Amino acid sequence: MPIERRTLLKGLAAAPAALAAPPLLRHAMAQSETLDVAAVYSLSGTFANVGTLLNNGSQWAMEHYGSVLGRKINYILLDDRGDAGEAVRKVQEAMSQRGIKHIIGCTNSAIALAVQKEVNARGGIYVQMAGADESTGKDCNKANFRWPVASYSAVNATMRPLIEKFPNAKKWYTITGQYVFGDSLLTNVKDVLKEKGLQHVGNSYHSLSDREYSGYIATALASSPDVLAICNFGNQTLDVIRQAISYGMKRNTKILAIWSTGLDQFQALGPENCEGVYFGCNFWHGVDTPGGREVAAVVKAKTGDVPNYLQACGYAVAQVLVEGIKKAGTTEIAPLIKAMEGMTYEGPTGLEKIRPEDHQVIKDYYLMLGKAKSAMKDKNDFAEVIAATKAFLPPDKTGCKMA
């Protein structure tokens, strides 16, 4: 039978598709067997020490779960090098080229705010640990979930118990990191001071790259405050505390680090610098809960030690996503988001609940007081919990309008 020209052309046109079919089929089959989860962390840059441990926590959690709904979890790290622009570029690439829809993690608020917009626009889901109010406030969206408390909660859960404890501490001074998170803390501090009729005697802003704070501390000392509230995070919190103590500030002033990462920062400060200083913490290994015990077992298997906040936080965002998928019974994004709204689960701090209105995890935030070296029961017993509070803005006050 003679081959018609039209038939020959059709055959030639179909050939590339036929040749490409086996790998495409393999890719499709592999996709159904594994679930790709991308984690956005800074493994270099200013906050690389924070990003490294957050990444450890998330990775260990995913290894601990192994699979979900019969699909092996494939953990993919996206190193944003501490740059929000780089984070967005990597997320865009992962979502458009690799088809990844499930994203977790961030190392700072600016990165989370940028990534949460991107993930929402591309139809994914994002569970993260930013501190800035905006994340589940005016910048909230359907795709975005946040595990740690917002800066509003951190400020209210630390300042209010402290004000009750020291009603005569009327004059407050703040040292603030001039970035999204620092400003967010400062705004909330000012609100509480105004409500309580206390005096804000001054604020010193510092930049993201500052390491020398003695000038700011000298300015603070000149206004003789009763309380120095530190509104920043990471190594900058440590440097401010260390330098404030070296200038003798602890003698007449209470020092409150509103946002601290707990154990790892206590180790970096040493008991001599922790003693008598107040810290706000999202997690403390000494609080005994079923979820906390599970995190402790996973971390102990890896490090032989107790978990710190960063590891627990990395673990928690991974846990929220996997527990959500389990509850939804699918990895499809729309039903997954719906299932996660209102979900309760045994988290690292106890029974935790995701608020449907803004996708904020409702959990305790601790006010801790550093112990003297002689009072420490073991090498990690740096501080005691003096208040555990769930202090959250009512949903209608967060500014969140879920699209």
Partner 1 sequence: MQLFLFQVLNGLGIGMIYFLLSVGLTLIFGLMRFVNFAHGAFYLVAAYLAFAIVGLTGSMVLALVIAPLAVAILAVATERLLLRHTYRMPHEAQILITFAIALLIQEVVIMQFGPLGQNVPVPQALSGVVFLGPFVYPAYRLAVVAVAAVVAVVLWIVVEKTKLGAVLRAGSESAEMVALLGINVDRVFMATFALGGALAGLAGVLAAPLRGVEPFMSAEALGIAFVVVVVGGLGTLSGALVGGLLIGLVQSIMSTLWPQGAHLMIYAAMALVILARPTGLLGRT
- Binding residues for partner 1, rule: CB under 8 A, are 46, 48-49, 52-53, 178, 204-207, 209-212, 214-216, 218-219, 221-222, 235, 238-239, 242-243, 246-248, 264-265, 267-270, 272-273
Residue 284 vs residues 34, 48, 303, 353: alpha-carbon distances, Å: 34, 22, 17, 18
* Ranges assigned E (strand) in 163-285: 171-177, 199-206, 227-231, 254-260, 278-281
**C-beta closer to partner 1: residue 46 or 135:** 46
**From CA 352, how far away is CA 267, in angstroms rounded?**
28
Sign of the alpha-carbon torsion through 320, 109, 282, 352: negative
- The CA distance from 61 to 72, in Å, is 13
User: Closest approach of Cβ 205 to partner 1, in Å?
Assistant: 4
Closer residue to partner 1, CB minimum distance, 14 or 222: 222
CB of 240 to partner 1, least distance (A): 12
Would you say 272 or 332 has its CB closer to partner 1? 272
CB of 202 to partner 1, least distance (A): 9
Is there a contact between 361 and 353 (Cβ–Cβ < 8 Å)?
A: yes
Q: Rank residues 31 and 52 by Cβ distance to partner 1 and give the closer one.
A: 52
CB of 297 to partner 1, least distance (A): 21
Number of H-type helices and E-type strands within the chain: 13, 16
Nearest distance from residue 208's CB to partner 1, in Å?
9
Tell me which residue of 49, 132, 60 sits closest to 296, measured CA to CA.
60
CB closer to partner 1, 36 vs 239 = 239
The residue among 109 and 135 lying less far from partner 1, judged by its C-beta, is 109
Helix H segments across 258-308? 263-269, 271-274, 290-303
CB 208 within 8 A of CB 222: no
CB of 224 to partner 1, least distance (A): 12
Alpha carbon distance, N-terminus to C-terminus of the chain: 63
In whole angstroms, the minimum distance from the beta carbon of 380 to partner 1 comes to: 13
* Nearest to partner 1 of 220, 361 (CB atom): 220
